[in-house]
Structure 1
Amino acid sequence: MTTVDDLAEYDAFGPWIDEVRSPSEVPRLFRAHPLDLGAASLVLKVPRNIVRRDANPAMHLYDALLALDPEGLVVLTRTDDAFSARRVPLASIVALQNDSLLLDARFTVHTTDGDPLVVPYNGSARESIDRLITRMRGLLTPAASRPPAQAPGGSPTPTPAAPPAPPAGTPAATGVRLPDHPRDAGLVAAYADFAAGEPEITLLAAHPTLRLRPAGGALTRALHAVRPMTLHGAVVAATPGELHVLHRREWLARGSQADISDAHTLVVRRPDARPASHAHPLYPDAVVVTLPTGGAPLELVLDADTAAALLAH
C-alpha cells in the first residue's frame, strides 16, 4: 500500500543526494533499522541510478543511507527488497576516496578492519558527498576544521608591515611546480579549488602526466611504442593530521586518450597505518605507495619524487 510518505519520497526523487532530517524522510526500506537522528551529525540518502520516468511510488527509490555520528559512519545498503547494515568506527578509518567520471561517481572508505566500503552515486551530487567528507574530517582530525587564526577579541590577526608571505598551499611558498601538461589542467584546477578553502594546507609535491618506459625485452618495448603506458599526473598536499592526493581514477592507462576523471584520496595520518612503498614491477619510473587496510592494501602509483614527499610526511 502506498502511503503519503511514499508519495512525498517519489515527488522528491531525483539524482541528487538529500539530507534526512526527520523520521518521515528516511526511505521506507531502511525504517526498520534503529537510527538516532538526534545524535547524527549528518544523514544522507543516496538514490537509485535510474531515471525518474522508470520510478514509481511503490519502488524502493534509495540505494543507501549514510548516517554520521561522533563515533562513526553507519551505512545501510539496499539489495533488492532487503538491506544490509555496516558501521565503520572513525577510529578504524585509514583513508577516504571520492572519485568521479562524469556521472559515474564513488565514495570509498578504507579501514583497518575490513574490505573497503564503496558507495556508488550520481556525480551530479558530488557536493553532498564533499559535505559528508568535510564533517568526517572534523571528527577524524579536528585540527583540519580549525578556522584561520584570530587575535583576541575575534578580530583578524594583524597583518605585518612587510608584504605577506605567499599562502603555504601555493607553489610560490614551497617551490613545488604544479603540472603544466595540458592533460593535467583539470587536476591543477581541482587542487586550486581545494586549497582555497584550506588555510593550513602545504603543497608537498606534484608530477605531470608521464610516458613510462617498461622494463623487459624488445617485444615489450615495441608493444609500448604502439600503445604507450601513461602515468597520470598527481598533486600531493598536507593539512593537519591528513595527506591529500589529487589524481585520476586510474593511475595508469594505455594509449593516448585523455582522462577526464577526477579523484581525491584523503589519507588519515595514523601511526598504525604508515604508508610504505615498492618499485613498480614493470615500470622503473613509477613507485607504488601502499597503505595497510583490513582488505587488500590501498595502492597509489606516483613518480619517485612525489612518492618520496608523501612518505616523508
Structure 2
Amino acid sequence: MRRTAEFDAFGPWIYRVNTISDLPRLFQDAGIDPAAHQLVLKVPRNIERRNATPDMDLYDSLIAVDHETVTILRRQGSSYDSARIPMDRITAIEDSVSMLDGRLTLYTSDGTNPVIAYNAADLPPVQNLIRVLREWYLPAAVDEPSFALPDGPEPLLGDADTGLINEYRRLTRAEPGIHLISAFPRRRIGTGLLRPVTLHATITIGDDRELQQIHRRDRITRGNDKVLSIARTILPRTRITDIQVRPHERYRDITVLMVNGSLEIPVPAGSENDMLGA
C-alpha cells in the first residue's frame, strides 16, 4: 500500500498548520499561506484510523485566521466549499460538545453561520481558536487564570446540571474578571408522561465586553434520556445590534430571544432582561 505523510499522521487530532507542505492535499490549491496567518488548523474526518486509506482526503475542514478574516474550507465529496468571514461580521461564537461530537458555530451578521464539526477528544486547538477570535474584539487581553473560586454564591441548578456548574467554575477561574449575571434551572414545559419536554438550564456570565452563556447543545429536548452535552455561547456586547422577543410558538410561558436575526435563545417568560444582562 502506498503511504503518504498525511496518511501516516492521520488520527482524531486537530493539527496546527505551519507550512504550505503541511496543508491537506484537498486544500492545497486554495491559496492559503500559513505564514501569512495568525492560526491555521486542519480538522480530520470523523473516521477510525483502520478505515482510512492513503487515497482518501483525510481532512474535513481547514480554518485560517488572519488579522481581518476567518477563512473556512469544508470538504464536499472530492471538492470543497469556501467561506471568507470578516472578523467584524462575527456576532456570536458557539462551541458545544456531546460525548465525542464537537461543533463550533460562528454566527454572522449575514446569517450564514458556518458549522465546523470536530472530534471532541481534542479540545485545546478549538479553545485556542476561540481565544484568537475573541482577541480581535476584546479591548484588553483575557485575564490570567486564577485558582480561587469566584466571589458570591454559585448558581443553584440541582444535581442533574452539575456539568454546567463545573463549566461555570472553569470559566470563572480562567477569566476572573467575568461575573455571574443570571441563571435559571431546568424546568418541565410539556405535559407528556412518556416523552416529557424540558427547557434546560442556562447560566449567563460576562463583563462590560461580552456575555457568555453555559447551556446544553439543545436548549429544549423531548424525552427522558440523559442530556450530557455542554455548550458555551459567546456574544460580544458591541455586536448585539438587534433583539426580537416573541412567545414560543408551541410552549406556554416560554419566550424566544432572537439575537441579530439568527441566534434563538428560549428562556422562561419574564426573564428576558436577566438573560441579556440588562
Matched, 1:286 2:263: no
In structure 2, what is the Cα distance between the partners aligned to 1:144 and 1:244?
Answer: 16
Letter of the aligned partner of 1:180 in structure 2? L
Deviation at 1:275, TM superposition (A): 3.0
Q: Which has the higher helix share?
A: 1
> Which structure 2 residues correspond to residues 200-215 of structure 1 after superposition, within 5 A?
200-212=177-189
Partner residue, 1:141? 138
What are the equivalent positions in structure 2 for 1:106-185 lying under 5 Å apart? Answer: 106-143=103-140, 145=142, 169-170=150-151, 172=152, 177-185=154-162
Between structure 1 and structure 2, the one with the greater Rg is 1
- Give 5+ residue unaligned stretches, structure 1: 149-165, 215-220
> Comparing both chains, which one has the higher relative contact order based on Cα–Cα distances under 8 Å and sequence gaps of 6 or more?
1
Query: Which stretch has the larger CA shift, 282-291 or 94-103?
Result: 282-291
| Alpha carbons of structure 1 residues 281 and 85: separation in structure 2 relative to 1, 3 Å | closer
The 5 A counterparts of 1:32-71 are 32-71=29-68
Once superposed, which parts of structure 1, at least 4 consecutive aligned residues long, lie more than 4 Å away? none
Aligned partner of 2:276 in structure 1 is 311
Counterpart check, 1:93 vs 2:75: no
Distance (whole Å) between structure 2 residues aligned to residue 59 and residue 225 of structure 1: 48
CA drift at 1:225:
4.2
- Going from structure 1 to structure 2, the CA distance change for 1:301 and 1:114 (only over 3 Å counts) comes to closer
2:41 matches 1:76: no
Q: Deviations over 1:66-99 (max 9, x none)?
A: 0011101101111111112110111101101111
Question: Which deviates the most, 277-286 or 233-242?
Answer: 277-286
Question: Given that residues 236 and 306 in structure 1 are in contact (C-alpha distance below 8 angstroms), is that contact kept between their aligned partners in structure 2?
Answer: no
TM-score, scaled to structure 2: 0.91
Instruction: Tell me the distance in 2 between the aligned counterparts of 1:51 and 1:79.
Output: 19
CA contact (8 A) 1:275 1:311 kept: no
Contact 1:288 1:300 in 2 (8 A): yes
Q: 2:194, 2:56 → 1: CA distance? A: 50
Amino acid at match of 1:59: M
Matches within 5 A, 1:225-304: 225-270=193-238, 273-293=241-261, 297-304=262-269
Deviation at 1:196, TM superposition (A): 0.8
Q: What TM-score, normalized to structure 1? A: 0.81
Q: Which amino acid aligns with 1:302?
A: V
Q: Which amino acid aligns with 2:164?
A: L
Match 1:26 to one of 23, 26, 29: 23
Moved more, 283-292 or 17-26: 283-292
Partners of 1:122 and 1:147 lie apart in 2 by 27
Q: 1:260 to 1:43 in 2, by over 3 A?
A: same
Show structure 2 runs of 5+ residues with no match.
none
Q: How many residues align?
A: 276
Distance (Å, rounded) in 1 between the aligned partners of 2:265 and 2:35: 38
RMSD over equivalenced CA pairs, Å: 2.2
1:179-223 Cα offsets, whole Å, 9 max, x none, are 3311110000011111111121021001111112x5xxxxxx5xx
C-alpha separation in 2, matches of 1:305 and 1:192: 27
Does the 8 A contact of 2:95 with 2:231 survive in 1? yes
The one-letter code matched in structure 2 to 1:18 is Y
Deviations 1:262-285 (A, max 9, x none): 111111222662333223233333
- Mean Cα deviation higher: 42-51 or 275-284: 275-284
Counterpart of 1:191?
A: 168
Provide the rounded CA distance (Å) in 1 between the counterparts of 2:111 and 2:88. Answer: 13
